[in-house]
Amino acid sequence: MSFTAIQSRIRCSSARCLLSGLLLGVLLSGCASPPSGGVQVVDRAHRAATQQRPTVTSGQYVVRRGDTLYSIAFRFGWDWKALAARNGITAPYLIRVGQVIRFDGHRTTPPVVVAKSAPVMTRPAPVVQPAPAIQAPPATVRSAPKAPVQVTPATTPVQPVQRSATGWAWPSNGAVIGRFSSNGSLNKGIDIAGELGQPVLAASDGSVVYAGSGLRGYGELLIIKHSDTYVSAYGHNRRLLVREGQRVKAGQTIAEMGSTGTDRVKLHFEIRRQGKPVDPLQYLPRR
């Protein structure tokens, strides 16, 4: 092979190497560049814990200490009125530890106890004159029902707040760092940033129907019933300042913001209409 031919091959190889390097650089720069508008930060721990599951319509749940009808309905995607009707629970909607809550429409019935038959008599029994019947007072034949939770007004401070046309107010004045998604695997409410201990406010008038940490992924949680249609939820609080049975007003302090059940200080806020999550930003005043 001539020297000229060898030089030509070397030039071609160098050109191919240069072109390959340029293409590789373009691909790497495309992968490293964020999309326009910035990168969305996803709280994977909260997202996994609060995945939207379809309404449970089979099986049953055994009531544990700290449960309320409203917290059970919230957990399994039910409207509390529908769940009460399915299980024959009437006002004041009290449940007890060990009670079975069914989702499939079948009522739980107690087992039938069959008494043993009396022994056969081998000779006639003596005739005994019946004693006069004595009617016992009702209190001795049935136990009194459990007293309902006493409804009292909360005594925490109330701040003046701007309310929307539908009566809702912001539960905190921080920035929205997580938005509602109708996709079943994403956020069922909004996340609001804030400082540790910052006041959390009731978003509308109502009664506290759950206060505790029994729902996985929500930390210290409050649920407020506003009407037969709407409830709201406030998660990840550091400290709860109201208790079940208390009435609250829009703008009333109900908790201190915290990071229980999640990896940063924030408030997780939900509104549910007949048991189904809706976008809170459609109900809150525009900022």
* 157 and 92 within one domain: no
The residue among 102, 127, 143 that closes a domain is: 102
What pLDDT does 276 receive? 94
Q: Which of 120-134, 180-194, 208-222, 236-250 shows the lowest mean pLDDT across its residues?
A: 120-134
Give strand ranges (E) for the chain. 60-62, 100-102, 152-153, 176-178, 190-193, 199-201, 206-212, 220-225, 230-240, 246-248, 253-257, 266-273, 276-278
**Average of per-residue pLDDT across 48-60:** 67
* pTM recorded for the entire structure: 0.68
What pLDDT does 27 receive? 37
Q: What is the CATH number of the domain that holds 201?
A: 2.70.70.10
Q: Is residue 87 part of a domain?
A: yes
Q: Are 252 and 151 in contact (CB under 8 A)?
A: no
Average pLDDT, the chain: 77
Distance in angstroms (rounded) separating the CA atoms of residues 164 and 169:
6
What pLDDT does 53 receive? 54
Domain that holds residue 171: 152-282
Q: Is residue 200 part of a domain?
A: yes
Q: What is the CATH number of the domain that holds 82?
A: 3.10.350.10
Q: Is residue 143 part of a domain?
A: no
What pLDDT does 102 receive? 94
Q: Is residue 134 part of a domain?
A: no
Residue 259 has pLDDT above 70, yes or no: yes
Distance in angstroms (rounded) separating the CA atoms of residues 105 and 83:
9
Q: Is residue 209 part of a domain?
A: yes
Q: Are 146 and 160 in contact (CB under 8 A)?
A: no
What pLDDT does 24 receive? 39
What pLDDT does 148 receive? 55
What pLDDT does 46 receive? 47
Residue 233 has pLDDT above 60, yes or no: yes
Q: Is residue 21 part of a domain?
A: no
Task: Give the model confidence (pLDDT) of 175-192 as tens digits.
Answer: 999 999 877 556 899 999
What pLDDT does 55 receive? 80
Residue 169 has pLDDT above 70, yes or no: yes
The two tokens of residue 69 are 């009808």
Residue whose structure tokens are 């072109």: 19
Task: Give the model confidence (pLDDT) of 121-163 as tens digits.
Answer: 445 545 555 544 444 344 333 334 445 557 899 999 999 999 9
**Average of per-residue pLDDT across 233-243:** 98
Q: Is residue 12 part of a domain?
A: no
Q: Is residue 222 part of a domain?
A: yes
Task: Give the model confidence (pLDDT) of 55-113 as tens digits.
Answer: 888 899 999 999 999 999 999 989 999 999 999 999 989 999 999 999 987 665 444 44
Helices (H), 36-76: 44-49, 69-75
**Average of per-residue pLDDT across 231-257:** 98
Q: How many domains does the chain have?
A: 2
What percent of the chain is predicted at pLDDT more than 90? 59
Task: Return the closest-CA partner of residue 191 out of 39, 76, 47.
Answer: 47
